[in-house]
Copies of this chain bind each other. A is one copy, B any other.
Amino acid sequence: MDTHTSYRYEQLAELIVGMIDNGALAPGVRLPSVRAVSEQHRISIATALQAYRLLEDRGILIARPQSGFYVAASRHSTLALPSPSRARMKASAVSVSGVVATLLEHASNPALVPLGCAFPDSALLQTKRLDLALARAARQQGAQYSGYCPPHGQPRLRREIAKRAMRVGHALSPDNVLVTAGCTEALTLALTTVARRGDTIAIESPTYFGLLHTIEVLGLKAFELPTHPTRGIDVDALAHLLDAEPVAACVLSSSFNNPLGSTMAEADKRALLAVLAQHAVPLIEDDVYGDIYFARERPKPFIALEGGAHTIYCSSFSKSLAPGYRIGWIAAGAYAQQLMEHKLAFTLCGPALPQIALADFLESGAYDTHLRRIRRIFEQNLARMTRTIEASFPADTKVSRPAGGFMLWLELPRGFDSRQLFEKALEQGICFAPGDVFSASRRFRNCLRLSAGHVWNERIEDGVRRLGRLAKALLAR
């Protein structure tokens, strides 16, 4: 459990949300004045106002000039959720080649409105403190770290990673942390350790195209499991699959998966682990978005429920802190030795100084403050993007309701062609990710993913609005 001491305005905001949730404050009701609430809770007027503004940003309260704050009509968007994906009959070879390179290229093009890639904005991450730690380490400790880093990673960094794992209920020894080149290397090491060319890997559907790309390059096949937009994997479908055919591993994004933002309930996670254990199928858990949660508590990762006998936990700091540092890790459990052999064969070890800088940063305690800040920003961004979609996209557009991360998944009516939209959008200087790249069998052509990872501004809002209009125009034809 994340036991950070929240600020007073956050406590007040949570209290109000609780009263709305349990019906004590109904939609449309006017809240006590800022002055009244400050006296009642013995806080400053500024703090009370901060709480109200926070809830306004989240779309929970509405401010009316000269009148005060009111409970919004509905906390949720009027748009329906995307449909759960359906079961596929068989595993497919993957061919998304070229997709990753193309999207990365567009993502690095500053002329495009950046709705395409799952990159958090550097203006939003504010890594100055981490960069200064790197500058200090390079200046003062360069000679000390000029040799090869231990292949597992710097001991201080591994200790900090293990400490954070403890807080989500996963008793992890620093000895079992293996530092990797981002979560990408973590997933590749995990897949090459448990699977061989031609093997079947069970995955969510839709899923992150980078994972599909890795599965393709390694010559594996993908079995796309039916996935609910908020509740995640259908455990019965997984059980049927495992009864029917051999599966080398299951790769799941434990919390706020990309692109749906779905999270399995803890009971479902336990049921899924039981099914996997029964068939002795290893679980590769991708938890890169886990720290970006909007609720009170971080969802427990699978590894915390299972302990690591059959789970290989992969994560990184790329979505929440520093994409450019390329630091991820594996909590290796029973596969530790094999994963280490693969790490040595693939990249030997990581660069030393960035790991030292990150260890300094984590030891300082600055990461938690940082996470609190970006969680709020991403949540606000998603609320604003959802409202903009509501106002500009075709009325029957369905949109996901992620409880964390910074991605939205949109479903348009059957027959809508997001590839066509993609071409039109690029012409207008807007980048997004078309739906078919999230499927091994190139489904979801009527869907698209928008990233809300950038600082919200008029350019972004206008980009979403124009994209909505383009979608309407395409649909009208």
- Interface, chain A (partner B; CB < 8 A): 97-98, 100-101, 104, 107-108, 119, 122-123, 125, 127-128, 130-132, 134-136, 138-139, 142-151, 181-182, 184-185, 188, 192, 196-197, 210, 213-214, 216-219, 318, 322-327, 340-342, 344-354, 357
Tell me whether B213 and A344 are in contact (CB under 8 A): yes
Looking across the interface, which residue of chain B has its beta carbon closest to that of A127?
B146
Tell me whether A139 and B132 are in contact (CB under 8 A): yes
Tell me whether B119 and A142 are in contact (CB under 8 A): no
**Shortest distance from the beta carbon of A295 to any chain B beta carbon, whole Å:** 28
| Known pairs A131-B139, A326-B349 / 17 extra A-B pairs, C-beta < 8 Å | A101-B340, A108-B148, A108-B150, A122-B147, A132-B138, A132-B139, A147-B323, A181-B348, A184-B344, A184-B345, A196-B197, A196-B219, A210-B348, A217-B345, A217-B346, A326-B350, A353-B354
Tell me whether A142 and B147 are in contact (CB under 8 A): no
Given contacts A326-B351, A341-B217, A352-B324, contact A125 B146 (CB under 8 A): yes
Looking across the interface, which residue of chain B has its beta carbon closest to that of A191?
B345
Looking across the interface, which residue of chain B has its beta carbon closest to that of A120?
B147
- Residue in B98, B132, B216, B347 whose CB lies within 8 Å of A184: B347
Tell me whether B97 and A346 are in contact (CB under 8 A): no
How many angstroms between the C-alpha atoms of A144 and B127 in the bound complex?
10
Looking across the interface, which residue of chain B has its beta carbon closest to that of A97?
B341
Given contacts A150-B108, A351-B326, A354-B354, contact A346 B127 (CB under 8 A): no
Looking across the interface, which residue of chain B has its beta carbon closest to that of A100?
B344
- Residue in B119, B181, B341 whose CB lies within 8 Å of A101: B341
Contacts of A119 in B (CB 8 A): 147-148
Going nearest first, the 4 A-B pairs with the smallest beta carbon separation are: A131-B142, A217-B345, A122-B146, A135-B138
Given contacts A128-B143, A326-B351, contact A213 B345 (CB under 8 A): yes
Tell me whether B146 and A347 are in contact (CB under 8 A): no
Contacts of A325 in B (CB 8 A): 351, 353
- Residue in B122, B218, B354 whose CB lies within 8 Å of A143: B122
Contacts of A185 in B (CB 8 A): 346-348
- Residue in B128, B130, B138, B151 whose CB lies within 8 Å of A131: B138
How many angstroms between the C-alpha atoms of A210 and B348 in the bound complex?
9
**Shortest distance from the beta carbon of A194 to any chain B beta carbon, whole Å:** 13
Contacts of A146 in B (CB 8 A): 122, 125, 127, 131, 322-324
Given contacts A101-B340, A132-B139, A145-B324, contact A351 B348 (CB under 8 A): no
**Shortest distance from the beta carbon of A453 to any chain B beta carbon, whole Å:** 10
Contacts of A104 in B (CB 8 A): 148, 150-151, 344
